[in-house]
Amino acid sequence: MLIETPTHRPGTPETTPTASRRRHDDAPDTAALFARMAELEEGPEREAVRDELVTLWLPMAHRIAGRFRDRGESIEDLRQVAALGLVKAIDRFDPSRGAFESYAVPTITGEVKRHFRDRMWALRVPRRVQELRNKVRVARRELTQNPGSPEPSVADLATHTGLTEEEVNAGLEALDSFSTLSLDAELSADDDGYSLADTLGAADSSYDVVVDRESAKEGLRRLPERERAILYMRFFEDMTQSRIADHLGISQMHVSRLISRSCARVRDEVLGQRTGNRGSGGTSTTA
């Protein structure tokens, strides 16, 4: 077995030869193929060399995709994204500028990260907030990596990341924006369990009643006294038209006509006022 002896002088920084750097099993020697592809013109032969390079380096792309598993995306989709990054790296690589692995790893990693940034957020947030989220997530993991470490406070995270507490809070809020919760999700494990939808408010029809009542006030005030009395007896005292007719000494048919005419007058005035408000930019004039 050959043993490599260090050749650096004492007191000088130790340098590791490129050839002795750790290489992964999925990093094949394809320098000759890249040199050949660089010499070829566009055509079937160049495409064949390109396909061979993709096949040889695909295990490395899959390894990089595996680093992002368990983050809400299937490993098959991550491998597809990493393969796309690999193809881009092969197409853009210049063999004269160094080793392909040094160029491909950040290119593929960036493609996968871009996929998470652009496609995986259930609630769209600005890129700056996404970056704050990542910094806060990494800082929280680093501060709790030792067993028994307490959950870091906002101040602890701010000190560790160099961010302000306001920025840390924005990052913490973004942590909950990556995925959404179904409205049908059960929030209670009891027999009388309820879903998230059960906790949401509903439109209150009483507000419409208030608006209609306030809109009709002016029109009711302008009615003759007898018509106002008839409407009050009919709709507030719940008297029948026959009882109102006996009370006023008129026919029930006359009461019915007065009620219909009074209601139509108030309704027309309210609708006309609303139309006038829209047409005059919110102002109206009453004659």
Query: Using one digit for the tens of pLDDT, what is the confidence trace for 262-284?
Result: 999 998 888 887 666 655 554 44
- Classify residue 121 by burial, with Cβ atoms within 10 Å: 0-12, 13-18, 19+: middle
pLDDT, position 243: 93
pTM above 0.85, yes or no: no
Higher pLDDT, 6 or 196: 196
Residues 6+ apart with CB under 8 A from 62: 79, 82
Contact by Cβ (8 Å): 180, 122: yes
User: H or E segment at 66?
Assistant: helix 44-66
Q: Are 249 and 243 in contact (CB under 8 A)?
A: no
| Distance, CA of 20 to CA of 159 (rounded, Å) | 39
| Structure confidence by residue, pLDDT tens digits, 75-111 | 898 999 999 999 999 999 998 888 899 999 999 999 9
Of the listed ranges 13-27, 33-47, 204-218, 235-249, the one predicted with least confidence: 13-27
Mean pLDDT of all residues in 241-255: 93
Q: What 3-state DSSP class applies to 186? A: strand
Higher pLDDT, 181 or 171: 171
Average pLDDT score over the chain: 80
Percentages (nearest 5) of helix, strand, coil residues in the chain? 60, 0, 35
Query: So what's the pLDDT on residue 19?
Result: 40
pLDDT single digits (tens) 99-149:
899 999 999 999 988 887 766 655 666 778 878 888 888 888 888 887 778
